[in-house]
Each structure stands twice: as C-alpha cells, then as structure tokens.
Structure 1
Amino acid sequence: MMDPRTSAQDVMRCDLCETAVVQMHCDTCLVNLCKACVGEHISTDESKDHKVVKFQSRKSTPLYPGCTSHTKQQCTMYCNQCDIPVCTKCIASGQHLGHELSEIIQIAEEKKDKIIKEVIELRETIYPTYQDIASDVQNRMSQLEKEYGDLSTAITKHGEDWHREIDKFVKKLKAEVDEMKNTQLQTLQKHLDEINKTMSDIKDEIDSTDIATGTNDLSKLFSVPHSLINTYRNLPQKLEPILPKFIPGKIQELSKLFGVLSSSSLISDKHGYRMKTTQKSPEAGSSPPVKQLLDEPETVTTIAIGYGQPLNVACLSDEEILTSGHNNTMKLFSINQGSLLKSITIELGKHPSDITVTKSGDLVYTDPYDRTVNIVKNEKIEEVIRLQNWIPHGVCSTSSGDLLVIMVSNDNKQTKIVRYSGSTEKQTIQFNDQGRPLYSSKIPVFFMLIFDKHCYITENRNLDICVSDWRANAVVVVCQAGKLRFRYTGHTPTPKNQPFYPRGITTDSQSHILTADDNNEVVHIIDQDGQFLRYIDCGLSEPWGLCTDTNDNLLVVENGNRKMKKIKYLK
C-alpha cells in the first residue's frame, strides 16, 4: 500500500505532526497546521503574535517589518520623507515630526503594483527583446564567420594569382638570361675563331721563314716580306663579357605590393537596438516630422564673405555661421544681420582645409600644412591630432562626439577615413570587401596645393558616413561599420551638361544627402539610399562648402562670387 506521507498524489499534511490534513495556516510563521496542532504551535513561541487563519485564507494577513530602532515593534507606517518604515514608537518619539506619513499597506500596494508592471514589462517586452538581440548577435557571428571565410579565400586566390604571375615572371627572366648568354657566347666564339685563324697564319709564316733562313738559297730569303712581324704585333681587341646583374626587390616591401588589410573594429551603437513593443518607442516619438521638398527653393539671405576662395561653412547655431577659405582666417557671421562678428586667425602660412563644430559648440579644423587636427576653445587653439605619414583634409563631428577625418598619404597614393575619440584612433575605413580602395588617390599636386582637399565628409542621421570624392566624380556612402552602401555618380541630364564634380556635402533631418556640384553650379539632393530627388538651382556661382541648420535651411558658400547664401528648400 502507498505511504500517504510520501505519495506524490497525496494531499498536503500538517508541518508539525506530518500526518493530519492541513486545515490552518500561520501567516506569521508561514507554517501549515491541522486544527489539533494549532495550540502546540502557538505555545512553542509565545513571543510572536501568531496570525492563524484557515488554509484557504493564507497570506491574507500582512507581515509588517520589524522596527530597527525598537525591538519587537512592527512598522505599520511609512515616512515618505525619510523613505523608511516606522513604528508607533518612532512616531511618538518625535523623530519624524512634520514628516508626511502613509500607511505602510498603501505604500506596499503601490510598490507591489509597480513591481507587477515591471515584471510584466520584463516578461512581455524586455526579455523577448533580449531574445531577439541574442538571435541578432548569433546571426551576426554566423555572418562574420562567412565573411571572414570569404576574406581568407580572396587572400588565398590573390596569392595563387601572384604565384602564377611570379612563375611566369621567373620563366621570362630565365629565358632572357639564356638569350643573353647565347648572344655573348656566339660573339666570343666568333672572336675565338678569328684568333685561331691568325694563329694558324702565324704558324705558316714561321714554317716558311724557317725554310728561308735554313737554306743558302738567297732568292728564298729575299722572298720573305719586310717587317713580317709588324702584321701580328697589333694584337686583337680583348672582349670582356659583362654579365647582367639580378637585383632582387626587397622582400620587406612585398606586403605593400601584395595588398594590405584594413584594421577591424566593433562599433558600439547604444541606439542600435530598439525595444520590442507595439507601443511607440521614445526613439520613434523623437523622430523628426516628415518634410516635403519645396517646388521651387528660395534664397532667404545673401552675405558677402570676402574670401578670395571661400571653401567651407559650418553652423555654430541658427544665428551664427563660421566660414573659411584659402587663407589663415576663419570668420564668424551673424546670418540674420549679415554682419561679421569675429575673425579667428591662425599662424601665417597655414590655413584650414575643413571646419566642423562639435556637439559642445567648439570649432575643429584640419591643417594640411601642419598635418594636424585642431580645436578652438575659448579663442585658444589646441592640437588634438598630429599625423606622421598622412595629410588631413575633410573633418566632421559625429552624433557620438567622435571625429571623422579623411586623409591622403604623403606619397599621394592612398586615401582613408579614420574615426577618433579625442586623439585615440578607433576605426579605419579604406577598402571595400574585395580589398579595393573606396576612395580616389593620386591627386595632382597642383590641386593639393591650391584646394588642399579633394574630399568632404559628413555623417547622416542613420549613422552612414558620406564622402564627396570629386576626383572620382562620386559621392561614396558607407555604413557605420565601413561597408560600402552605394556610390552616387550624378544625375542625367545635368543643368550645364558638365561632368559631376561634388564638393561640399551635408545632410538634413530627413536623412537627405546634399552635395554641391560646382561644375554644373547646382546642389544635388539624394535620399539616404542614393536615389536622386532634385537639383537646387538658385543662380549659384560655383557652389562649394555646404551645411544645414536645425531648421533644415541650406547654407552654401559660392566660390564664384565670394558670397554665402541661406536657401529654404523644405516645406
């Protein structure tokens, strides 16, 4: 027969006698009791105020917390100011005189409701979101395995191609060596044949003169030519073969010729994941309202800025605009008043290649002559980054507070983007998935000296990195991780039927990408996926530097007439 005390199908038994069926429950001690054991349980510890109820009503009696200041006292009230439970003695002592008090049951119910809501959110929203994130990370890891495998395969294939080319080149060099050897041997053999013939002639002469001198026949003696020896005293020329030299290339430089790997990185994006919920998220709530393009953009303000070559513009605020050009002075203008507020002058003989404004409102500029990136704080210039083998050009401040700097190598053969946190390098963007350069190189020295910069750079709202690469006649857009998203090479027909020459680049609240085309004297507007939307053509004269203010007005400097225009292009 099955033991009723151990059977899994048995009813609950009293915790004291372990035999009788449970009928009562002590809410104070959390003990299950039969009616017969109630008295025994209470008498075991008479110091407690035992709350014995029917088993069906268990947990109905609140267990008040004990007071930390007064032993054996229960806290039935709660001091909202001190944020602690209190007992009647605490209240009577005057420690909480004038403080707002609440019944602890009310506070407990409020806390319980809050906890229940949080648990529901944890169960229904946060935990499923973490499940999705875990799945996303796992998928990324699987994709990473594949992409790194593809990368290794590409390197192996490139190595095999190199081996084939090296084998062909070695065969070609050895054939050239054989050809050179045969040519020199043939020449020397011909020379040897001539020498041997002369030696045979000399031997014949010796034999004939021996006969002439060894006889008393004077006619034979006089038949020997005069100065016989002079013919042979002129020795043949000496042929000295000079072998070709094999000058091997430096093995150390092979890696540069073979190809290089850009650095890998993991970008931390705190806004990368969104909570899994059907309700509108805070991010969605803060999304900008949708704005439509105006049928006809209109010029709001025009300011003469007085540079020989105005190149750059940046918004310090909706009222204050910074500009720079081909000299050592940056100017701060009031856009609404059209007046010059201040000039910032750097060392003579230097000038900023590009300017940007940080989230904290500080001016940052690149100096290609010094190979530095500098920040202006309280009218003092501080060096942030100094490069050795690279020349900085375009710069932008990102939403995360990093700096993106586009730079060209000293030998003028490579271009790359480097992300900096302060002066610390965090990321390098230079090659696509096939190991080919993303950006143009081999900039003519003339252009480097005159314009100092062939690429402008900006960050879009979706964290894409947008570069106007005028030498490549393209806008090159990569994602935050540095993978190529698209290349925009202009739109046909162009207003002046000229090649697309992108200069300044900026974005707006709608994630539009705007780039100046000084060759066609317009500004192109494309969406975040590279689709052409329209031209801005407001009688611009060689538009160059661009920026947008917080109201999505476009600020553009014109290199042709040395002016800056504020243009409204969104409704």
Structure 2
Amino acid sequence: MDPLHRAQIILLCDLCKTAHLQSHCERCDINLCQTCVGEHLSDSSIRHKVVLYKYRKSLNYSKCTDHAGELSKHYCEKCDIPVCSTCVSSSKHEGHDISDILEKLNAKTESLQNDLEELKTKIYPRYEVMVNDVQREKAELETNYGKLTTAADQQGEIFHQEITAIVKRRKSDIQEIKNKHLSTLNINTEEITKKMAELKQIISDLKSILKSNDVSLTSTYKSRNSEFRLVPPKFRVTVPSLSAQKINKDQLNGMFGSLSPLSINTEHGDTMKSAEAVSSTQAKPLLDDPRLTATIHTGYKYKLSSVSCLSEEQVWTCGSNEIMKLFNLQSKLLTSIQTKSGNKPADIAVTRDGYLVYTDDINKTVNLVKNKQIETIITLHGWVPRHVCSTASDNLLVTMYSDDYKQSKVVRYSGSTEKQTIQFNNDGRPLYSSGHYKYISENRNLDICVADWSANAVVVVNQSGKLRFRYTGNPYNTKQSFTPVGITTDSQSHILTADINNHRIHILDQDGHFLRYIHCDLVNPFGLCVDIRDNLFVAERNTTKVKEIQYF
C-alpha cells in the first residue's frame, strides 16, 4: 500500500509542514502539497520536475567518503566528484564551483538517454546489417568458389584436349615420315632386285654358251661385268628423333592460368597485400638470324594497326576500316566481324577463353565478341580507351587518355569492374605521356609493359603499379631515335617492341636490358603478338601484311 494511504503514518508537505503531501519534485527532492506546488513552480530559475508522489523516483545518494553519515547532495565541478554539505563549507572545496547534484544527474540522464537512443536506432541496426551482409557473403562463398573450381576443371579439360590433339598430330607426322621412309626403301629394293634378275639371266646365258662350244656365240659375246661392278646406291634413312623439351612446371602452371591476388577490403579502403606471383621458364636460345616463316596478306587498303593470336595457326587483325578479320597462315580469311558502332576499332586482343575484345575510341567503349555477338562491357566518361590486352588472370588492361588530351593512365578491369588504376609514380608525377599510342602487354612475371610512342620509351611497372624501369632505346646506338609502337612478351619474359621508323623489333630481357634486334626486311612494323610456341607475328603498318617470324 502506498505510504500516503497508510492510516498509521501521516506524511506532510516539506514546505508548509501542515498539509498532506500530494506531489514530489524530483529536481529538488522535496514533497509538496497541492497548495505548495504552485509556489514551488513559481521559481523559474530552476527546471523543476513535479510528479505525483506515487510516481516519484527514489534517488540513491552516495555517502560522503569524508564525513560519515552525510549524503552527497552536491557536486564539485572542479574536483568532478559528489560532495556533502559539510564538504561544501570546508576549506578543501573553497572557491570551487558547486552545483546541485540533481542538476548534474539530469544532465547525465539526458546524455544517457541520447546515447541509448543512438545505440538503439542508429548504431545497433548498422551492426545488424553488417552481420546480415557477412552471412549473405558466406552463403555466396560456396557457390562462387564452386564456380572457380569448375573453371579450373574446364581449363584442365582444355589442356587435355590440346595435349591429345598434339599427340595425334605428332603420331600423324610420324606415320607420314615412316611411309616416306618405306617408300624410299621399296624403290631401292626394286632397283636392286631388277639388277639381280638381269645378273641371273646373264649367268644362265654364259653357262649355256660354255656348254655349247658354239664358236659363233662365243665370239659375239660382249661382257657386261664392268656395268654391274658399280653396284646400285643403297639408301640409308635415319629414323627421326622426337626432341621433346623437358616440361617446366612453372611455365605450365603459368599457361594454365593464375588466380588473382586475394584482396580483403575494409570500409575505409585498406587492402591486405599478397606476394606478387613470379614465374620462371626454361631458357631457350635466341637465333642470331631470325627467319621469316609465313606472310599473311590481309587485304586492308592501308594502316594495319593490330594483330592478336587466336592460336598458332590463326590470327585476328584490324586496320583501316570497321572490319576485324581472322586469317590462317595461308592468308585464308576464316571469318570477319564488323564493329557494333561501325567505327574503326582502335585495338584488339584475344582473351584466355579465345574471345575477341576491341576498343572503340569514338564512342569510348570496350567490347567483347562471343559467337559473333558483340557485348559492350565498359563505357567510359571523360576518358577515351585506346589499347588493350588480356592478362594471365583473365583481366583486361586498358590504356586511355582524358578528353582534354592532358592525361593518360592504365586501368585494370575484371569484367566491367575497375580493379586498379596506374597513372603516377611515387613522386606523384605522370608515368605516361599524354599521347594516344600506348600499346600494352603483361609479362610472365606480371609486369605491365607499355610502349609510349610520344615519350619514345617503354614504361614497365610491377603488378602493384610501381615503376620498375624505362627503356629509351639501345644504349649503344644513340644516333637513331627510338619510336616504339606495338609491344608483346614471350614465355621467357622477354619484351619485344616495334621500332616503326627504324623498321625493326627490339628484344629486351625482363629487366629492360637490350638483347638484340629483329630485322627480317620489316617495313614499318606496328602491332605485335606472340603465340604459345613463341612465334612472333608482326603487323606492317603500310604494306598491311602480317609476318610470322621465328626468333628462338
């Protein structure tokens, strides 16, 4: 039962001391009758909080640590502690600002309520969303990694098919050589057998003459021994050997395809770093005299700009019009694709899956061709895409320049998602000139190699975009200017770049050291690519021919 209604206890107003209490001021911690409530609230300098007595909150004052039995109903602002009345009048708190502890309590209570409201309505819900996001990502993880495993199985199947096809071709070659070998021996056998038949006949005739004692036959006999003393030539054909190269596991692993580095991003953009992939390959010697092995006539009227290998027997080309053409080594046109917009493609590349990619610098797009269907995968704003290459991780590297022609950069894409931008060195200076021509290739050690024509340099950065070196031409030949255009790399991490005005190819090692030139009567070499056997294909700008060159 409420104390107000207990017959044995009479509670009176703390102000008038005569009337029964009805209310309680939590701010001042006093009990009030109905009459005194109005008088109490008349003091507007204090924010009173009057409630019915039965709804009052009982305050638990702390006991003063310095004065036993007294409650701390005041607050010392300087010492930042609750104090009792005796403390207030003592010398210890002389000159200090003293406030009512209820005022302090109200301020703290309001602050606590604000914190509670923010935690309930803003902060905690965000954590709930984050938990849901993580749970959803975990649910998607199995599916996505399952797809990755399936992709590895599919790539393995492609390798098996390619190896089976290679074995079949080699067996066919062996059978063909064997047939030629047998044919040669059969001809040799027939010739010797024919001579032996003649010899048997002559021996038989001589025996008959000797037995007959016929003067006429004996006197007319003409010896043919001198003719048969020179025996027919005997062919010796050496069985060919299969000069199989030792399988380099690192090289095979690189050809199979590498996983892109694990990237874990926090909300503020921090990324866990992973070690750069490094591939090593079995050394192969360069030829002192590279040789031309095939010439493809593309039929473009002028300005053959790019060539990209689909296989060791087929190459894609683009030139002066909107048609991209696929040729075999005998110059046979296998298929042709017209660009989606009707504009001339700026550059082409072939992805690891064998799909054609081309850039359109007029409508600022990068496009993918699948089964002769064209899909625009990247559309730029403020930047113009120019040259493109496909990487070991099946990303695309695209060189581009700004609409105002003042800036250039390299951007890495995974599908249509921008993953990396490479534009400045550690000092904040541009890595590349503002010119248009910047053919690009990724090396086996995952370096990104750009032929910057306007800068007369090959600019090479590592996988993270840090400058490794700049090559500005053969250091032993300073009389001729270096004008790099097309660029490609091979299984040995060599960098090959077309020096258009000097009609030759420069071969560099992976650290940018000049090794040698390739000439082969080239005329204005422009676009370059290398197939899986390290055969070099060169697109000649003005003759519009593609030349295949063996340089290993």
TM-score, structure 1 normalization: 0.48
TM-score, structure 2 normalization: 0.50
